[in-house]
Chains A and B, each alone.
Chain A
């Protein structure tokens, strides 16, 4: 079956990958989650401290910015990415009218949608079970997440050590006798470190491949 004439879907996927190519969105979100996790742990140990409130407010501000305006990432990109490889805003959605796509691309679009739905469903369910029932749901999610990431890394030729933080987080949650609040904090912290790690690797790669022009 021939590809669509214009390959809009491919162009959207490329634009989305371009937005994440420098790792800056992951780094920013990683910092926000790290702050949130540390604030939770701190608050648990020092209940009357005011520091966690600032950390949580800052973390929420970063997350809101990431969702609505992307000003922080934009500011970083204006200094690192745009002078090197140019500026493109990410596509609003990967969805494209099927009438403009080939049968192959329609299949790919459907597959992407179901994978995203599965991931969101899985994350919500595992968080719910971890909060309501036992902490090992979080550990299980971390292991499964690490496994999926390793599979993805192999397929896309990313480094094999990419899922190490999540794997470490899973081990920590399994071995440490933590209570429920600490478990949640460690889970958030683990995801934050994972995002920072992924973002850091992507940024290092990007800077190596695109050195600054004199």
Chain B
């Protein structure tokens, strides 16, 4: 088995869950986003998004802050440096494994 495929064993399971992967991908793309935007982008229900965000916050991958923009109350989510690093590592491993698997198939 190639090294790229073997590295799959070291995948971060906190990120590997599809909903959390979606959340982290969106947060990686923007500097910060609020709950409503995340909900629209990920297509998750309020409860689902809230529970996954709590798990990511517990793991210190995401920071959540309640604030205001004008009179509009916002729950702002950001990736922490730890979350950013973990996500980059995850994406690289998965990309390498996908390419290795595609190469084998050919």
Contacts and interface: CB of A to CB of B under 8 A. Distances in A.
Interface of A: 1-2, 4-8, 11-12, 14-15, 18, 74-75, 77-79, 82-83, 85-92, 97, 99-102
Given A2-B102, A4-B95, A91 B70 contact: no
Contacts of A92: 31
Contacts of A8: 25, 28-29, 91
A77 B37 CA distance: 13
16 contacts: A4-B94, A5-B91, A5-B98, A6-B28, A8-B91, A11-B28, A78-B70, A82-B69, A87-B36, A87-B76, A89-B30, A90-B31, A92-B31, A99-B92, A100-B92, A102-B98
B21 interface: yes
A170 B89 CA distance: 51
Contacts of A100: 88, 91-92, 95
A63 B96 CA distance: 42
Given A11-B26, A89-B30, A102-B98, 16 more contacts: A4-B98, A6-B21, A6-B87, A11-B28, A14-B29, A15-B26, A77-B69, A82-B74, A86-B34, A87-B37, A88-B33, A88-B37, A91-B29, A91-B30, A99-B92, A100-B91
Contact of A85 (B21, B37, B92, B94): B37
Contacts of B25: 6-8, 11
Given A11-B25, A85-B37, A89-B30, A1 B102 contact: yes
The 10 closest A-B pairs by CB, nearest first: A86-B37, A86-B36, A78-B70, A11-B29, A88-B33, A78-B69, A5-B94, A87-B34, A100-B91, A89-B31
Given A2-B102, A5-B98, A6-B91, A15 B30 contact: yes
Contacts, number: 104
Determine the main DSSP class of B at the interface with A: helix
A88 B92 contact: no
B29 A12 contact: yes
B68 to A, nearest CB: 9
Nearest to A92: B31
A77 B34 CA distance: 13
A83 B71 CA distance: 10
B98 A82 contact: no
Q: Which residue, of B28, B94, B95, has the highest number of chain A Cβ atoms within 10 A?
A: B95
A86 B21 CA distance: 20
A7 B38 CA distance: 16
Contacts of A91: 29-31
Given A11-B25, A74-B69, A87-B33, A97 B88 contact: yes
B67 to A, nearest CB: 10
A85 to B, nearest CB: 6
